[in-house]
Structures are given as structure tokens and as C-alpha cells.
């Protein structure tokens, strides 16, 4: 019988800071990691399948084994799949997520997305399951949604109502697209973080795709983004300190230490530490594990429970976009790779936003869920007034990268869905609302026919 090697404990705060420094990579090793979630529904009646029902979520995971995916267990339950294309995981109400592998180009990313969607659609055909690309369930109440058998979610679902009014909506009723990107140094991370935060409202606007709640318009264009405004103020938001002089790894570590804990993972189970302090854990004074100190795995778990608009781990996560169709899954990483992975583009993007004050950035973020591209811009005008400029900067950055496919196409074409949105002036949610008030005759169930993968 073998026993697991004990993991070294954290002896000093320097180790917390070094955890970010270990993410530094030279430019030739920068990669693109794309994550995207989708809603799962039964085609017969549009209900959200439970984990254990016939043709439900567990069966869906099982169908994917034929494509080389390997099950990941928590206790007796398969709660994820691992494979060459990254990992497939379950969000709290069964939203299906692909966390893609770190890839060299957007061509690779889009091919990975295509493979994944082909596989899940084939599995869905067999099980009578469909997949919906939106930012929020258009017609489901919280009570109608199932719960997945993951220990961390039980703790989070219990804790959310203590700290905000919409945390349960975030967990149960939303889907997003994210991209994870690398940095070469602390200074490079800082500049990318600042540009990412300042322009996150533009990404939210361009991808706004959640205008319905429980079958009716909710008054927002990105209700998913609005939900974050009252989920948990201790672990969300625009992080004003990122723009302060001296920001770097240490300052982010201090922020993360102030984020209340959710859990500690030990011996295959999650221990409820909701609301407790990681600072106490560092001192061996965590009430639920008295005398025990954390490991770097505990720190990494803790970092994953902060939910700001941009998040730092050993990479930067861009977190502002609603879920959507295949072409926008490819467009989100194209936007951020174009802006952040070429120095000229990064400098140009920073020049565009560096004069905005903390209050102006917050006001823009607050206005975007309702107004999208019509949100007031710092200094006058509307967000739409800089959208084309930002896409031009991203396009120039992608051109400079020079990553081509076999046909000789570079990566700029992946921005085309966003250019179409700016050209028409109509974000995805506005198009949905037009159909709701027009061809759909006020029946939101038509969304299943028109917005499924």
C-alpha cells in the first residue's frame, strides 16, 4: 500500500508571492487557454437534466469516454473528464464547461472548440439533450434547476445568501466565456491586468447575451454581468488597487488573503471554512483545522474562489463575457490575444484607457449591463465610440503575431463577429429582444431553436 507524499506547507508570505512569479514565461511560450460554458437541456421539454436521471448529466459525461476522455471522480460521482483538449467540468446546476488546453494559436483554439462541440452534440443526439449558448437561463427559476454532486458547490450554495442577493443566480443560472493568458514578468502582468480591467466593460458589452429572466425581458442586456454586482463584494469587482502605484504580485496576494475562505480540501472531501480567514490558516489558527497550516494547493484553491473582473493565478483570466455561439467563443480570445500579446497593441490599448479615473472605470462597469455599447464613456461619448478603435488595435496585434493556418489566413478573421456587432450597433441581447418582441411573439421558448449549438 502506498501513501501520498505529504505536501510542503507554506512557511512564509514570500511563497504566496512566488506562486505568481512561477507563472512568468518568455513570449515564445505564451499560450491561450479558452473556457466556455453552455446550458444543457432535454429536447423533449427543455428542462435542465439532473445528474442521475436517465439521459442526464452523468450519462452525458459517460458518452464522452468514447472520444478518449477519462472520468474524474469525487467520491462515487464522476464530476469531470480529462483529456488532450483540457478538461470538461460541471458548473453547479449542470452547465457544461470545457476548460481548454493551453494552445499556441487561435486557429488551434477554434479547432479545439469545434471538436468539443461535435462530441457533445453527438452525445446529445443519443440522449435527447441539447446545448444552449446564452449568458443566463432564459426561462428557469432557481427552484427548477438541479444541483451537481460537488462538495465545494454545497458549501458555496449555503454561503452565497449570507453575502449577497444574487450569488445563487451566478452559480445556477449563468454561463460565460473566458480566456487565460500568460505574462513574461511582474511588470508585464501589471500592464496586462490594467488594460484587461479597464476594457472588460467593452467585452461585456460586445458579448452581452442575457436579456431574459424566467421567460421575460429583465431590463438588462447582460444580466449575467449585473448579477456580479451583488454576489459577494469581498471577492468581486474592478479592483481599484490594480491601478495604484506599486501594484504587483505582493499587492494581489494581500487582496487574496483578505478574501474570505470557502473550503479546505482534505482526504477527498471539502471542509466548510466559509467566511474564515486565510491569514488565520497561515498561522495555524483556522478554527475548522486547528493547528494545521496550508499548502500551496490550498492557496491555489483559495485563489480560485476570488471572482474579480480579471483574476490572477499563474496566468491572467479575462472574465467579462456572456456565453454565446461558436463564433463568439473564438472571438473572445481573439480580442484579448490581439490586445495583450503584442507589445505595440498593449501600449496602444493602455494609451486609450490610462487617463480614466477609478470612479470613471467603475461608472462604466456599472452602466454596461443595462446599456452595453450605449454606456457613457469617460470624457464624453459612448462606449461604442471606441469599440472600432479597440478592435483595430486587436487586429493589428493579431497581424503582428503572424500566426497562420494551412490556408495562410492569420488570426484577424476571428474578430469578424465583433466587427459585425460594432457595425450594426446592436449587441447580441438586443437582437434577441428584437426577435422576442417580433417574430417570437413574446414566446422566449423560441430561443432553443435559434440559439442552440
Domain ranges of the chain: 13-259+306-450
Does domain 13-259+306-450 sit in CATH 3.90.79.10? no
The label of the residue with cell 478518449 reads 68
CA gap 41, 137 in Å, rounded: 10
Residue 1 in this model has a pLDDT that exceeds 60 = no
Distance CA 305, CA 236 (A): 10
Percent of the chain with pLDDT over 70: 99
Residues 314, 318, 324: CA angle, nearest 5 degrees:
135
Instruction: Indicate yes or no: pTM above 0.95.
Output: yes
When pLDDT is averaged across residues 326-349 and rounded to a whole number, the result is 98
Look at residue 321 in the predicted model and tell me its pLDDT: 98
278-302 residues labelled b (16+ CB within 10 A) or e (exposed): beebbeeebeebeeeebbbebbebb
- Closest among 150, 186, 176, 121 to 51, alpha carbons compared: 150
pLDDT of the residue at 5: 60
Mean pLDDT of 409-426: 98
At residue 258, does pLDDT exceed 50? yes
The predicted-structure confidence for 159-179, as pLDDT tens digits, reads as follows 999 999 999 999 999 999 999
Mean pLDDT, residues 347-354:
98
Question: Where residue 7 falls among pLDDT bands split at 50, 70, 90?
Answer: confident
Contacts of 159 (CB under 8 A, 6+ apart): 167, 262, 274, 275
Whether the pLDDT of residue 195 is over 60: the answer is yes
Res. 8 pLDDT band, cuts 50 70 90:
confident
- The gap from C-alpha 95 to its chain's centroid, in whole angstroms, comes to 13
Q: Is the pLDDT of residue 6 over 80?
A: no
Q: Is the pLDDT of residue 104 over 90?
A: yes
What is residue 2's predicted lDDT score, i.e. its pLDDT?
41
Inform me whether the pLDDT recorded for 42 exceeds 80.
Answer: yes
Amino acid at each position: 500500500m502506498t501513501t501520498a507524499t505529504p505536501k510542503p506547507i507554506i512557511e512564509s508570505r514570500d511563497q504566496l508571492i512566488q506562486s505568481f512569479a512561477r507563472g512568468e514565461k518568455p513570449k515564445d511560450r505564451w499560450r491561450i487557454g479558452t473556457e466556455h460554458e453552455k446550458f444543457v437541456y432535454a429536447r423533449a421539454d427543455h428542462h435542465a437534466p439532473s445528474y442521475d436521471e436517465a439521459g442526464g448529466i452523468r450519462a452525458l459525461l459517460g458518452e464522452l469516454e468514447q472520444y478518449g476522455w477519462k472520468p474524474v471522480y469525487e467520491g462515487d460521482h464522476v464530476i469531470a473528464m480529462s483529456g488532450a483538449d483540457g478538461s470538461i467540468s460541471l458548473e453547479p446546476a449542470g452547465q457544461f464547461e470545457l476548460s481548454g488546453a493551453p494552445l499556441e494559436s487561435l486557429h488551434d483554439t477554434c479547432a479545439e472548440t469545434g471538436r468539443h462541440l461535435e462530441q457533445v452534440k453527438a452525445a446529445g443526439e443519443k440522449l435527447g439533450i441539447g446545448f444552449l449558448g446564452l449568458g443566463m437561463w432564459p426561462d428557469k427559476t432557481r427552484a427548477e434547476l438541479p444541483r451537481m454532486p460537488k462538495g465545494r458547490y454545497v458549501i458555496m450554495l449555503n454561503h452565497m445568501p449570507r453575502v449577497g442577493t444574487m450569488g445563487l443566480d451566478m452559480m445556477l443560472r449563468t454561463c460565460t466565456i473566458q480566456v487565460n493568458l500568460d505574462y513574461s514578468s511582474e511588470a508585464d502582468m501589471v500592464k496586462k491586468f490594467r488594460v484587461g480591467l479597464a476594457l472588460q466593460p467593452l467585452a461585456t458589452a460586445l458579448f452581452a447575451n442575457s436579456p431574459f429572466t424566467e421567460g421575460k425581458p429583465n431590463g438588462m442586456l447582460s444580466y449575467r454581468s449585473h448579477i456580479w454586482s451583488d454576489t459577494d463584494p469581498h471577492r468581486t469587482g474592478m479592483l481599484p488597487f490594480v491601478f495604484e502605484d506599486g501594484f504587483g504580485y505582493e499587492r494581489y496576494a494581500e487582496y487574496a488573503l483578505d478574501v474570505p475562505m470557502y473550503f479546505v480540501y482534505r482526504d477527498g472531501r471539502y471542509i466548510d471554512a466559509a467566511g474564515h480567514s486565510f491569514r488565520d490558516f497561515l498561522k495555524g489558527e483556522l478554527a475548522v483545522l486547528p493547528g494545521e497550516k496550508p499548502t500551496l494547493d490550498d492557496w491555489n484553491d483559495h485563489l480560485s474562489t476570488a471572482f474579480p473582473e480579471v483574476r490572477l493565478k499563474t496566468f491572467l483570466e479575462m472574465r467579462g463575457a456572456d456565453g454565446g455561439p461558436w463564433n463568439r467563443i473564438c472571438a473572445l480570445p481573439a480580442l484579448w490575444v490581439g490586445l495583450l500579446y503584442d507589445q505595440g497593441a498593449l501600449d496602444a490599448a493602455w494609451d486609450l484607457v490610462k487617463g480614466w479615473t477609478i470612479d470613471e472605470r467603475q461608472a462604466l462597469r456599472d452602466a454596461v449591463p443595462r446599456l452595453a455599447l450605449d454606456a457613457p464613456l469617460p470624457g464624453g461619448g459612448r462606449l461604442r465610440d471606441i469599440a472600432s478603435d479597440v478592435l483595430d488595435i486587436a487586429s493589428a496585434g493579431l497581424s503582428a503575431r503572424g500566426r497562420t493556418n494551412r490556408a495562410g489566413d492569420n488570426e484577424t478573421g476571428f474578430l469578424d463577429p465583433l466587427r459585425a456587432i460594432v457595425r450594426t450597433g446592436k449587441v447580441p441581447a438586443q437582437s434577441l429582444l428584437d426577435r422576442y418582441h417580433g417574430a417570437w411573439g413574446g414566446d422566449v421558448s423560441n430561443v432553443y431553436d435559434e440559439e442552440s449549438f
